Structure 1
Amino acid sequence: MTETSEWRGQRFVLVLYVILVALAGTFGFIIGLVRPKDLDPKLFMLVDLPPNAVGMALYGALTIGTILGVLLLAVRYIANEYDTVENRG
């Protein structure tokens, strides 16, 4: 595998990550505009956020960004840890 193809894969995952976080923020903003009943966003079950469009956008983007970020870092660590010369084939 060449250095260029590795960067293309990492860049694709990074762009996909940014798109998904932006979508979560956008949908949170839209939900905040609609304001359903009993809307009480709590960031990581610790920080109370305002039940408006900006609060919901922050909630969506930060929650999805953190969850996906941790999962992607775990996958990257495991892939680098167990990538050996024999497996590159």
Structure 2
Amino acid sequence: MSERDSPDVEEGQRRGDVPSDAGSERRPRAGYAGPRLVVGLYLILVLVTATAGFLIATFVEGLEPPRFLFLVPFPATPLGFAAYGGLTLAIVLGIPLALVVYVSGRIDDDA
């Protein structure tokens, strides 16, 4: 017998809704909240930075080649500056974000 045929299942539960008495075991709803929001903002910021690097290299003359992490030289082209900007911000924001995820997974929720 499927969930659809079961008389014990209410109409709201068939549609995937969470009953109001679910308490703390409530499933997250689809949308932009929590980790999904953070990852979305992270990707948007990286793309905006890469776009800014591309535009700077397109319209500003005489730029010196950037060095990613002070080690890897990138060409002084629009694509080089886009990669430099995107990668730099991805590292600068990504490492602390990964540490927050790691630490928050280790913290005891009962404390």
TM interval, shorter chain, is 0.7 to 0.9
2:107 maps to 82
Greater CA deviation, 7-16 or 45-54?
7-16
**Deviation string, structure 1 residues 12-46 (Cα, Å, up to 9, x no partner):** 00000000000000000011112343422001111
| Aligned residues between the structures | 85
1:77 partner amino acid:
Y
Match in the other structure for 1:32: 57
Distance 1:23 1:85 in 2: 39
Partner SS, residue 75 of structure 2:
coil
Greater Cα radius of gyration, structure 1 or 2: 2
1:32–1:53: 8 Å Cα contact kept in structure 2? yes
TM-score (norm 2): 0.68
More helix by share: 1
Structure of greater relative contact order (alpha carbons < 8 Å, 6+ residues apart): 1
Instruction: Give the residue type in structure 2 aligned to 1:67.
Output: V
TM-score normalised per structure 1? 0.83
Partner of 2:16: none
RMSD of aligned alpha carbons:
1.9
2:28 is the counterpart of 1:4: yes
Consecutive unaligned residues of structure 2, counting only runs of 5 or more, are: 1-23
